[in-house]
Amino acid sequence: LNYSWVFRNAFSDCVEAGKPASEFAARVHPEERDGLIEALMSQIAGKLNTDLFTYRLQRADGTWEWFQEKSVYLGRTEGAPYRIVGVCQSIQNHKIVEQNLIAARDRAQESDRLKSAFLTNISHEIRTPLNAIVGFSDLLSDTSAFTEEEVAQFIATINKNCSLLLA
């Protein structure tokens, strides 16, 4: 399918049928309509605009298709262009790929956020019992300062926290 033909026909159908430019404008998505029509009118008035324009154009079935176009003068007469040549192509596939990449990026960012939250949580869950194990193990390095009952309680606390780690 020749997409520049689709665009040209969308515009020239209106012009050749004697329809107002508003009929073509109605086929341009409302978010891009004013900018595109302003650029077209400026170009016709003789103001050179070498910008690349991206916009959506409504197809006959009512769906929107992304297009990109650029035009230049081939010549001028008394300050006004006598011939404007442009290239217009569908970039719908590019937009679909772009949307898929954005969605994949968003999923990856959410996954990274969840991973970070998980690691923060698991780190806390590991550090708490480890602190008790390490602390009470250090105390057991010199049992002479404690009673047998206190030593037994330290060992019980160490075993309890080991069980929490392994659970």
pLDDT attached to residue 47:
77
* Phi, psi at 29, each rounded to 5°: -55, 140
Tokens read off for 68: 């990109």
Q: Answer yes or no: are the C-beta atoms of 59 and 65 closer than 8 Å.
A: yes
SS3 83: strand
Whether residue 46 is predicted with pLDDT greater than 70 in this model: the reply is: yes
Confidence band of 1 (pLDDT split at 50, 70, 90): very low
Which residue, chain included where needed, has tokens 């790929």? 97
Euclidean distance between CA atoms 68 and 87, whole angstroms: 8
**How many CB atoms lie under 10 A from the CB of residue 25?**
16
Instruction: Tell how far CA 143 is from the center of its chain.
Output: 62
pLDDT attached to residue 8:
47
Whether residue 93 is predicted with pLDDT greater than 90 in this model: the reply is: yes
